[in-house]
Amino acid sequence: MRNIVSFNDNWKFIKNAADEVEAAKGEGESIALPHTWNAVDGQDGGNDYHRGTCWYVKKFAKPEKNETDKAYLEFCGAAMTAEIYLNGEKISRHEGGYSTFRVEITERLEEENTLVVSVDNSNNTTVYPQTADFTFYGGLYRDVNLIIVPETHFELAYCGSQGIKVTPVVNLEEKKAVVTVEAWVCGDADMVTFEVNQEKINASLEDGRAKAEFVIENVHLWDGVDDPYLYTAKAFMENGDIVSTRFGCRKYYIDPQKGFFLNGHPYLLRGVSRHQDFKGVGNALTIEHHKKDMEIIKEIGATTLRLAHYQHAQEFYDLCDENGLIVWAEIPYITMHMKNGRANTLSQMEELVVQNYNHPSIICWGLSNEITAASAVDDDLLENHRLLNNLCHRLDSTRLTTMANVFMLETDSPILEIPDINSYNLYFGWYLGELEQNDEFFDEYHEKYPDRVIGFSEYGADANPQYQAAVPEKGDYTESYQAVYHEHILQMIEKRPWLWATHVWNLFDFAADGRDEGGKHGENQKGLVTIDRKTKKDAFYLYKAAWNKKEPFVHLCGKRYVDRTEDVTEVKVYSNQSKITLVVDGKEFETQTGKTIFKFNVPISGEHKITAIADSCTDSITVKKVEEENQDYIFIKRSPVTNWFDADELDPECFSINDKLAEIKANPKAGAIIDEMMAKGASDRGDVADAVKDNPGLQRMMGRMTLISLLKQSGADDESIKQVNRILQGIKKEN
Ligand code: GCU
């Protein structure tokens, strides 16, 4: 039998030490794992969280074991690069902050032992991620275990694998599954016994590998959220070592025109993304945190999850298996390609696939995220993706590869032809452009490439639940605008079942220490739920109303919008019920039948209690008519440029930055101004401008955007925006 001992307790954390010798003295803060040193400074803004090498020290006595037993240390997550020293000797180095790795320590064990681990999350040019919109927490932020196994045991060292691999192949017509189980053994043994579904098969070992094939008649399918049935496969040897894993029997394919199919039936993949961090603890999550997130995911009714932007904890993939979520797993090959990072992308991908092969929830491996945002599509980048794509298919012939592409990537880019399927991250209606451009983008893409599978891997709008508006607008960071934004996108994705999967960015607010906007420091607030999981924003209930078919509910929006200046206020209800009655101050006001979104126009003159009723479901809010806008509802740092050029200040007969780029450029004089400005901008921003010049698709898209959108997106300062507008206002539009 193998004995797994938790090594989470009794560590010393030393933030600074010159070397292992100094660290080994063990003077430091007593801590237990999981731990990150960026739990606070990684979430408070300023882009100043500690990035460097810190040290962990643990002293332990020689473990009880048979003379011939072997001992391994297992690290489930050390971010980002770890070096392991035992009794003064460096025994391992691991580059990659999100995967499990192990090291054998048998021969180095003494009666009393000193384990020293250095962990480094500093800037470098070889280990991903280096450039991205989330905090790169440092630390031993997942479990550390001591594993004692018999001399001959199932594989532990290769890529942190489980030592057992299960490949179910489903035949839907015959209602059966052929399940191939493989195991790898370290040491001297002749045979392995496999067990699946109460059937046992003995298999001989050849070159350390054993394999058996089981047939499950009347197979109980793993059928998504409705029936995530799991089997267990075991492998054991006469000496008692045993490994086991759960697996699910499912079959899927994606039709470019009809979308995702699971077990032969259409199965809409509509869901969310998740980062692995919580308020106050950083990424040092316990199983309780993971369970909390899964509870919320089940409440919203998602069928798919994009676990961005790296390998998540085994506990969470397990929860996805148990709850039937279809998962997009990925490595942190993100934003900017590093010419010295290729090996790291390959090692992180090999670990991701090898360690997670048995999870039925995972259906694709993400090669990269927005990697062309700050890098040209050159041979090195393309080759890196080809190698990753081939590696995935070599390690796993059963799953698809995918990519999340940035909105600027030209849709005829050769990189899109590398993965099996693709998705795009679009933020029209938030960072730039208008909401309708999301629809236009996908419709154009789908028309141009009807045989390509395409999905929507990211979309979202930041919202601070404190901010409210009667007339929400892009960039105001209000809960109100986020709801309006998602209402548009929801109806867009509901009309396009050929989008193979859609993932809201993000289900939870998460830490990005470099951010300082929307009234919060260090947070990306695109979440439908706050980073402490305590507040579900109105948009959360929009998706719950559309997706959760199990739990009848009614949600009144605007609970936090109490003080209202308007005489007639819009009262919006999200519900998965079809008939909603609104009661105002105890009197029935109006009943509507419909779907998901219900809007009532209610005259207000004082304080009112408003209740929405759907059968046995109710929800209430209180609103107050006030004369002055409640300033607490307004994000005061909002860039003045968004309300500078109100129409009545502009000469409508002349051009302005409120006009669309294409209209302006159609005028020779005004177009010359823009070209000069773009040329100057290009020299400031290096090759990105080439990406525009050589990118007709991007030019077309930009043409549809107002100049003010583009200038804000490019980060132009207020003065230069005013200057451009003054010049344009001097140019008459031709009739
Ligand atoms: C990008 C990126 C995310 C980021 C998001 C945002 O699409 O993939 O990591 O958080 O944009 O700007 O919110």
Kindly report, residue by residue over 345-359, the tens digit of the pLDDT.
999 999 999 999 999
- Looking at the structure, tell me whether residues 567 and 532 fall in a common domain: no
To test the ligand 1 pocket, which listed residue (408, 458, 503) has its Cβ within 8 A of the most ligand atoms?
A: 458
- Looking at the structure, tell me whether residues 363 and 487 fall in a common domain: yes
Ligand 1 proximity of 462 Cβ (cutoff 6 Å)? no
Q: Would you state the pLDDT for residue 106? A: 98
CA of 133 to the centre of ligand 1 (A): 6
Q: Are 59 and 112 in contact, with CB atoms under 8 Å apart?
A: yes
- Looking at the structure, tell me whether residues 461 and 514 fall in a common domain: yes
**Residue 299 domain-assigned?**
yes
In order, the DSSP letters of 330-389 are E---BSS--TT-HHHHHHHHHHHHHHHTT-TTEEEEEEEESTTSSS---HHHHHHHHHHH
- CA end-to-end span of the chain, whole Å? 86
User: Is the confidence at residue 296, as pLDDT, over 70?
Assistant: yes
CA of 360 to the centre of ligand 1 (A): 27
Instruction: Quote the radius of gyration of the chain (alpha carbons, Å).
Output: 28
CATH assignment of the domain containing 73? 2.60.120.260
**Residue 159 domain-assigned?**
no
Ligand 1 proximity of 425 Cβ (cutoff 6 Å)? yes
**Residue 344 domain-assigned?**
yes
- Looking at the structure, tell me whether residues 390 and 450 fall in a common domain: yes
More confident call, 724 vs 417: 417
Which residue is closest in CA terms to ligand 1's atom 12? 133
Q: Closest ligand 1 atom to the C-alpha of 460? A: 13
CATH assignment of the domain containing 491? 3.20.20.80
**Residue 225 domain-assigned?**
yes
Question: Of 220, 252, 284, which closes a domain?
Answer: 252
pLDDT band of 366, cuts 50, 70, 90: very high
**Residue 227 domain-assigned?**
yes
User: Is the confidence at residue 436, as pLDDT, over 70?
Assistant: yes
User: Is the confidence at residue 642, as pLDDT, over 50?
Assistant: no
Note if the pTM is more than 0.75: yes
Q: Are 516 and 522 in contact, with CB atoms under 8 Å apart?
A: yes
- Looking at the structure, tell me whether residues 546 and 601 fall in a common domain: no
Q: Would you state the pLDDT for residue 695? A: 60
370 an active-site residue? yes
Tokens of 195: 């067990």
Ligand 1 proximity of 372 Cβ (cutoff 6 Å)? no
**Residue 428 domain-assigned?**
yes
User: Is the confidence at residue 687, as pLDDT, over 50?
Assistant: no
User: Is the confidence at residue 270, as pLDDT, over 50?
Assistant: yes
Q: Closest ligand 1 atom to the C-alpha of 458? A: 7
Ligand 1 proximity of 515 Cβ (cutoff 6 Å)? no
Ligand 1 proximity of 133 Cβ (cutoff 6 Å)? yes
Ligand 1 proximity of 458 Cβ (cutoff 6 Å)? yes
Ligand 1 proximity of 523 Cβ (cutoff 6 Å)? no
CA of 318 to the centre of ligand 1 (A): 26
- Distance separating alpha carbons of residues 411 and 389, to the nearest angstrom: 19
Q: Would you state the pLDDT for residue 307? A: 98
The strands making up 3-6's β-sheet, listed across from edge to edge, are 3-6, 144-149, 70-75, 101-104
- Distance separating alpha carbons of residues 680 and 49, to the nearest angstrom: 34
CA of 542 to the centre of ligand 1 (A): 22
**Residue 663 domain-assigned?**
yes
- Looking at the structure, tell me whether residues 318 and 454 fall in a common domain: yes
Which residue is closest in CA terms to ligand 1's atom 9? 133
User: Is the confidence at residue 645, as pLDDT, over 70?
Assistant: no
Q: Would you state the pLDDT for residue 89? A: 97
More confident call, 646 vs 37: 37
Mean pLDDT, residues 470-476: 95
Question: Of 556, 579, 607, which closes a domain?
Answer: 556
Q: Closest ligand 1 atom to the C-alpha of 524? A: 13
- Looking at the structure, tell me whether residues 199 and 260 fall in a common domain: no
Helix (H) or strand (E) holding 547: helix 538-547
Ligand 1 proximity of 330 Cβ (cutoff 6 Å)? no
Q: Would you state the pLDDT for residue 681? A: 58
Ligand 1 proximity of 318 Cβ (cutoff 6 Å)? no
Ligand 1 proximity of 370 Cβ (cutoff 6 Å)? yes
pLDDT band of 643, cuts 50, 70, 90: very low
Which residue is closest in CA terms to ligand 1's atom 7? 425
Which residue is closest in CA terms to ligand 1's atom 10? 133
Mean pLDDT, residues 713-718: 68
Q: Would you state the pLDDT for residue 704? A: 75
pLDDT band of 714, cuts 50, 70, 90: low
Q: Would you state the pLDDT for residue 257? A: 97
To test the ligand 1 pocket, which listed residue (310, 408, 505, 517) has its Cβ within 8 A of the most ligand atoms?
A: 505
To test the ligand 1 pocket, which listed residue (368, 425, 507, 520) has its Cβ within 8 A of the most ligand atoms?
A: 425
CA of 692 to the centre of ligand 1 (A): 20
Report helix, strand or coil for 206.
Answer: strand
Q: Are 409 and 416 in contact, with CB atoms under 8 Å apart?
A: yes
- Distance separating alpha carbons of residues 340 and 684, to the nearest angstrom: 26
CA of 698 to the centre of ligand 1 (A): 19
Ligand 1 proximity of 656 Cβ (cutoff 6 Å)? no
Q: Would you state the pLDDT for residue 326? A: 98
Q: Closest ligand 1 atom to the C-alpha of 132? A: 9
Segment 533-578, tens digit of pLDDT: 999 999 999 999 999 999 999 999 999 999 999 999 999 999 999 9
In order, the DSSP letters of 86-118 are ETTEEEEEEE-SSS-EEEE-GGG--SEEEEEEE
The strands making up 265-266's β-sheet, listed across from edge to edge, are 252-255, 259-262, 265-266
- Looking at the structure, tell me whether residues 695 and 659 fall in a common domain: yes
pLDDT band of 141, cuts 50, 70, 90: very high
To test the ligand 1 pocket, which listed residue (524, 528, 531, 713) has its Cβ within 8 A of the most ligand atoms?
A: 524
CA of 132 to the centre of ligand 1 (A): 8
- Looking at the structure, tell me whether residues 176 and 310 fall in a common domain: no
CATH assignment of the domain containing 603? 2.60.40.10
Ligand 1 proximity of 468 Cβ (cutoff 6 Å)? no
Sort 280 into a burial class: Cβ within 10 Å, 0-12 / 13-18 / 19+.
Answer: exposed
Ligand 1 proximity of 524 Cβ (cutoff 6 Å)? yes
Q: Strand (E) positions, 7-142?
A: 11-14, 29-31, 53-61, 70-75, 78-79, 81-86, 89-95, 101-104, 112-120, 139-140
User: Is the confidence at residue 651, as pLDDT, over 50?
Assistant: yes
Which residue is closest in CA terms to ligand 1's atom 2? 133
Q: Closest ligand 1 atom to the C-alpha of 369? A: 8
Helix spans in 548-658 (H): none
Q: Closest ligand 1 atom to the C-alpha of 512? A: 10
Determine how many CB atoms are found less than 10 A away from the CB of residue 542.
Answer: 25
In the chain, the number of structural domains is 5
Ligand 1 proximity of 526 Cβ (cutoff 6 Å)? yes
- Looking at the structure, tell me whether residues 487 and 389 fall in a common domain: yes
pLDDT band of 701, cuts 50, 70, 90: low
Which residue is closest in CA terms to ligand 1's atom 4? 133
Least confident of 72-81, 242-251, 723-732: 723-732
- Looking at the structure, tell me whether residues 111 and 177 fall in a common domain: no
Segment 148-163, tens digit of pLDDT: 999 999 999 999 999 9
CA of 511 to the centre of ligand 1 (A): 12
Segment 18-63, tens digit of pLDDT: 999 999 997 899 999 999 999 999 999 999 999 999 999 999 999 9
Which residue is closest in CA terms to ligand 1's atom 11? 133
Q: Would you state the pLDDT for residue 686? A: 42
Which residue is closest in CA terms to ligand 1's atom 5? 133
Q: Would you state the pLDDT for residue 640? A: 41
Ligand 1 proximity of 405 Cβ (cutoff 6 Å)? no
- Distance separating alpha carbons of residues 584 and 587, to the nearest angstrom: 5
Mean pLDDT, residues 591-619: 97
To test the ligand 1 pocket, which listed residue (370, 372, 428, 507) has its Cβ within 8 A of the most ligand atoms?
A: 370
Q: Closest ligand 1 atom to the C-alpha of 526? A: 13
More confident call, 447 vs 639: 447
Q: Would you state the pLDDT for residue 674? A: 82
Domain extent at residue 588: 563-633
CA of 267 to the centre of ligand 1 (A): 27
In the chain, the percentage of residues whose pLDDT exceeds 90 is: 84
Ligand 1 proximity of 479 Cβ (cutoff 6 Å)? no
**Residue 497 domain-assigned?**
yes
CA of 459 to the centre of ligand 1 (A): 8
Ligand 1 proximity of 663 Cβ (cutoff 6 Å)? no
- Looking at the structure, tell me whether residues 475 and 353 fall in a common domain: yes
From 370, 458, 479, 523, the catalytic residue: 370
User: Is the confidence at residue 459, as pLDDT, over 90?
Assistant: yes
Of 140, 142, 149, nearest to 105 by C-alpha is 149
Report helix, strand or coil for 495.
Answer: coil
CA of 407 to the centre of ligand 1 (A): 11
Averaged pLDDT of the chain: 93
Q: Would you state the pLDDT for residue 507? A: 98
Ligand 1 proximity of 581 Cβ (cutoff 6 Å)? no
Question: Of 153, 186, 211, which closes a domain?
Answer: 153
CA of 403 to the centre of ligand 1 (A): 14
pLDDT band of 641, cuts 50, 70, 90: very low
